[in-house]
Chains A and B, each alone.
Chain A
Amino acid sequence: MRLGELDASILKRQLRTEGISLQTGPFITQISTQAPDLIESLHTLYSDALICEYAEFSDFHISVDRPPGLRRWLQPQIDFYFDGTAPFNPFPAGQALPLFEWGLNWAISQHAHQYLIIHAAVIEKEGHAVIMPAPPGSGKSTLCAGLVHNGWRLLSDELTLLDLHNGQATPLARPVGLKNDSIEVIRRFAPQATLSPITVDTHKGAVALMKPPADSVEKSDQPAQPAWVIFPKYIAGAAATLTPHSKAKACIALGDNAFNYSIHGVNGFNLLTNMLDQCDCYDFSYSNLSDAVSIFSQLEPPA
């Protein structure tokens, strides 16, 4: 069943006790938490995701809770527990949702080496995927959020999972993180989008998460073949422009942006070089989302 079909009070009780088993893309994650803000956000943002009522096996066991001890009364904090151990320092208590999203990304990137995992957004149309690697501040997530409300399917905003066996991008349709000004940009550009409440004062500034489109979540079992690698860059006032990017440099950039490229050794090298043989590579500068959407709609897959 879908998480949204669960009654809010039942979801709350389950999250606070034995937890729920949530399917996101290829992974099943057992989640439990006492944090009321996280419970509410999960209810909103993951309502289209499948939950497994009797999951016997979960890939990851996660809880997000207050650390024990006196400190909880002085300066409330929240910890991310991966199978009973806390791999990070605690966050301030109000940031349970970003901590959960960040922690789940960490769990996947540290453990799922059946994929080459690249820090990049990936979207799809008519069976062809665009991979968009980019550093923070390049407007990657804003562009991704805009495109997935305009004809493109979201595979992932943060983690591109490339299957080592066939090079296909595996969907992991989870909420899209929006920062600072882009929250308002998306509110105006895609009024139908559902956003979480804004968390302020994370190390990134103001953060809100956008619920992935229902259709993207439903198609989580349909991988896509990469056809383009596009490096987006938001430049104030710039016209939306695609310029060709060297394949060899794109390969190095993808490797640099991958969490586990070096782990895969020669298999990672072969995966990326074979994939790039089949891809067109571009730099993309833009300032206006509508123009960006129109340029993307004109992309022709490589012959």
Chain B
Amino acid sequence: MSSPPPILLHALNHPENMLSLSLSSWDLLIRQARGAGLLTNLHDAIDRLGELNSIPERPRNHLESARTLTDKHQRDVHWEVKCILEALKALKQPITLLKGSAYLIADLPVAKGRLFSDIDILVPKEAIEEVEQTLRLKGWMLTTHDAYDQRYYRTWMHELPPLRHATRNTTLDVHHNILPETARLHPSPKKLLQAAISVNEDNSLYVLSPADMVLHSATHLFHDGELEHGLRDLVDLDGLLRHFGNQEAFWSELVERAKEMDLTRPLYYALRYSKKFLNTPIPEETIIASQAGSPPAFMPYWMDMLFLRALAPDHLSCRDWLSGTARLLLFIRAHFLRMPLHLLIPHLFHKAFISPRSNGAT
């Protein structure tokens, strides 16, 4: 991380200080928060203080605009989940929501400020074919027809190729595990589903248990290489830890569950960086217990150097000469973690030389 620390982290940790910011500090803060996808979080933090009207109009417009967009995303997720349930009704196969849509449907505070891109669901591996067929009958289409991509997903990945609904244009990722078949770590999807919690009346919709939800979020961020929205995902983790951390039993369950699920390493990183960036209140004994998952000697320093850069807001004011390299190294690390080396090399080659380079607008 370039010094001084990004103004965005300061604002997230001390929202009351936003009330006395100069306009030029607001200029930088809005840009960093936009880059990180955290404008609505800032809006809500000020709103909780009851002080929205005391900040200057120009930055306030951007915060309110982001809130409006977030409301729309949340409305869409509620509706999309309804449509997915309706489509799968006859199948009588319960589904488990993962990540953002799970936080929203389970009404967790962390969902409030969040933008959503697609919906992720987890189903037992035995049922995935039937689920796919049913969805494709009801208007969802495969997004990739490239034979290599198809084979890559179906052979090595923990999910189907993304499905897109023909008229609503929404994207759905259907998973049968939270990590690829080939990954170094092997969390058991059966155990995840057994512990899942029902969130509707007819028990057709579930979310992961609190400990599993945190572990999945940690795995996604620290093992899966999804670092584009690194800071936003860390804010999710922090929000989950703060919310569930109110229940005393949660922390010991979390540590135990990490051991049981073979996910002590991602948990170690999650607690370390959540505390470091966002001052997450974590009991001392949990920190000590999580050390069991710390990487070998020398690694922590090296990983700190990478993650502290990769997790900073994705904005030019937070980039230094190592930021791009850090994100690239972590991307390669993530691929390395999810695939044995002999598979990794052909895959990266394919990605580098065959896939068309697209300059996707966001």
A→B interface (CB under 8 Å)? 28, 56-59, 61, 83-89, 111-114, 262-265
Contacts and interface: CB of A to CB of B under 8 A. Distances in A.
Q: In the complex, which of the residues B35, B59, B69 has the most CB atoms of chain A within 10 Å of its own CB atom?
A: B69
18 contacts: A56-B26, A57-B56, A58-B27, A59-B58, A59-B62, A61-B31, A83-B31, A83-B316, A84-B316, A85-B35, A87-B362, A88-B361, A111-B65, A112-B65, A114-B61, A114-B65, A262-B72, A265-B71
A112 B31 CA distance: 14
Contacts of A263: 68-69, 72
A57 B31 contact: no
A269 to B, nearest CB: 13
Contact of A87 (B34, B65, B361): B361
Q: Chain B: interface secondary structure?
A: helix
B72 A84 contact: no
Contacts of A265: 71-72, 75
B58 A57 contact: yes
B56 A114 contact: no
Interface string B37-72: 000000000000000000010110110111011011
Contacts, number: 56
Contacts of B24: 56-57
A184 to B, nearest CB: 34
B65 to A, nearest CB: 4
Nearest to B317: A84
A265 B59 CA distance: 23
Given A57-B27, A263-B68, 16 more contacts: A56-B22, A56-B24, A56-B27, A57-B23, A57-B24, A59-B61, A59-B62, A61-B31, A83-B35, A88-B359, A88-B361, A111-B65, A113-B65, A114-B68, A264-B68, A265-B71
A85 B31 CA distance: 12
Contacts of B59: 57
B186 interface: no
Given A57-B59, A83-B34, A89 B27 contact: no
A63 B41 CA distance: 28
Interface string B194-231: 00000000000000000000000000000000000000
A158 B56 CA distance: 28
B133 to A, nearest CB: 30
Contacts of B68: 113-114, 263-264
Nearest to B60: A114
Q: In the complex, which of the residues A57, A58, A61, A86 has the most CB atoms of chain B within 10 Å of its own CB atom?
A: A57
A265 B362 CA distance: 22
Contacts of A114: 61, 64-65, 68
A265 B31 CA distance: 26
B23 A56 contact: yes
A83 B361 contact: no
Contacts of B362: 87
B26 A57 contact: yes
A79 to B, nearest CB: 10
B315 interface: yes
Contacts of B66: 113
A48 to B, nearest CB: 22
A226 B77 CA distance: 34
Nearest to A111: B65
A111 B23 contact: no
